[in-house]
Amino acid sequence: MSQPRRSPHDSYETETTDHQTETETILLKHVPLNPDSPSPLQKDAHLQFLVRNLIQGFPSRYISQDASQPWLLYWTLQSFSVMGVALDPNNKQKAIDTIMAWQHPDGGFGGGPGQAAHLLPTYAAVCALAIVGRPGPGGGWDQIDREKMYQVFMSLKQSDGAFLVAHHAEVDVRGTYCLLVTVHLLNMLTPELLEGVPASIMSCQTYEGGFSSASQPYFSPEPEGPPTLLDSPRPPLGEAHGGYTFCSLASWVMLQPYLALQKPSLQRPALNFKTLLRWLVQMQGSEIELGGFKGRIVGAHGRDDNHESSTAHQEDEGWDDIDESLWDRAALQRYILCAGQHPAGGLRDKPPKPADSYHTLYCLAGLSSAQHYVFLSSTRQDAIVRCWKTPPESTHEQLRQACFSHSLSWTEEEGTSRILGAQITGW
C-alpha cells in the first residue's frame, strides 16, 4: 500500500500546521494493511465502557461536567440504543428518577439538581426520557410539566425568532435545535412558538455555506409601538462550524411542515444549498486523515421515494451508492473503526485522546449513518396521515399532523446498506 500524500504545506510554520502534521503522523500508524478490511467494531469493549460509567459512575475528571449531567446520561443511554442494547427495568427506573431530579420547579430541566433551566440540558433530559421513560406514575414521561416548560420557552424567545439558551444567557442556534426536538417529542408545537424561527436560522448561514452560532438583527425605530425587525442586514456572527451547521440544518428539516403551511403569498426564507453542500463536502478529511469529518453532512434533504437513482438498484458490492458524489461512506467507517476506537473500550475524537461518552455516541451514530441510507418517504408519510383519527381543523392541529407525519416518515432505502469489513452480529 502506497503512503498517503501529506496535506499541502506553504512552508509557513504555525501552531496549526504543527498540530496538523502531528495528527497525520499519528493517523498513519492506524492505516490498515487492507483498507477494505479494517478492525471490526469492538462492541463488547464499548458496552463495558458504557456500563462502567452508568453503574459505577464517571471518573473524577468528569467533575468539570457537573452542569452537563443530563448530557452524560443521554450520551450513555443513546449509545446503548444505537447498538441495540436495552436496559433492565431496575436501571431504567434509576435513570428515570435521576432525570426527574433535574426538572426545575418553574419549568424545563437544569444541568443538575437545583440548577437553572437551560435549553441544552432540557433537550438531553427529554431525549433520555424518550429512551427509558414510560407513561403512568413513576415513568417520568407524564411527570414533565409541559405547561411550565412552554412558558419558559416563550420567555426565551427573542423578537427576531432566535432563542436565548437560558435566562440572562446568550442566543445560540444549538438552543433552537434543542428546543425544536423537545417540542416535537412532547407535542408542544404551536405557530406562536415557531413564528420567525426559519428566518432566524437562515440569517446564520455564512458566505462559506455553513452556519455560525447566531446573527445580528437590526431594527427600524418606530414613532409609536415596538421597533420593526429589518429583513436586512442580519449578518451572521462568527465563522461556519460543524456543530452549528448540523443544528441549523436539522432545525430547517424539522421546520419544513411549518413552512409548507404558510400562505403562498408570504415570502418564505430559503437556504443556499449550493454553498452549503460545497462547504459540507470539504469537511471530510483526505486520505491521510483516514476520511474522518471535521463536521457533519446531510445528503438526504429534499429527496423522497419518487426520486429515481441510477445506482440505487445496482447489485454489485462496490461503493457505487446513491450519495457517493457527496461523501465517502467507506472512508468514514474506516476512520471510526481504525482511529476512533480506544483499545480499552469506548470511542474517541482521534488518537491519542482518551475515550469519552460524547465521542462514543457520535462515533457510533456516524458509523451507522455511513452504513445505512435513510430518506423521507412520501409513501410512508401518506400512510401515517391516513391513520390520523381526528380531522385537523385548526391551524394548530394541522401543524401537529404535518410535523408528526414528517418526523416518522424517514426510512432506510433497501439495498443501500454498505458495511465495511467484517459485519458484527447484532449490529
- In tens, the pLDDT along 42-88 reads 999 999 999 999 999 998 989 999 999 999 999 999 999 999 999 99
Instruction: Give the pLDDT confidence score for residue 312 in this predicted structure.
Output: 34
Closest C-alpha to 29, from 391, 294, 290: 290
Residue 313 reports pLDDT greater than 80: no
Cis peptide upstream of residue 32 (ω within 30 degrees of 0):
no
Residue numbers of the domain that contains 323: 295-310+317-427
Residue 296 reports pLDDT greater than 50: no
Residue 328 lies in a domain: yes
Q: How far apart are CA 39 and CA 31, in angstroms?
A: 10
In this prediction, residues 390-419 reach a mean pLDDT of: 87
Residue 48 lies in a domain: no
> Phi and psi dihedrals of 374, rounded to 5?
-115, 155
pLDDT digits over 360-370, tens only?
A: 999 999 999 99
Entry pTM: 0.88
Instruction: Give the pLDDT confidence score for residue 297 in this predicted structure.
Output: 54
Residue type, 206: T
Number of domains present in the structure of the chain: 1
Instruction: Give the pLDDT confidence score for residue 402 in this predicted structure.
Output: 92
Percent of the chain having pLDDT more than 70?
90
Q: How far apart are CA 161 and CA 163, in angstroms?
A: 7
Residue 385 lies in a domain: yes
Instruction: Give the pLDDT confidence score for residue 303 in this predicted structure.
Output: 45
In this prediction, residues 123-135 reach a mean pLDDT of: 97
Q: What is the mean pLDDT of the chain?
A: 87
Residue 326 lies in a domain: yes
Residue 3 lies in a domain: no
> Phi and psi dihedrals of 110, rounded to 5?
-100, 180
Total number of residues shown for the chain: 427
Residue 93 reports pLDDT greater than 90: yes
Residue 27: other Cβ atoms inside 10 A: 20
Instruction: Give the pLDDT confidence score for residue 423 in this predicted structure.
Output: 54
Residue 165 reports pLDDT greater than 60: yes
Query: What is the pLDDT confidence band of residue 315, given thresholds at 50, 70 and 90?
Result: very low
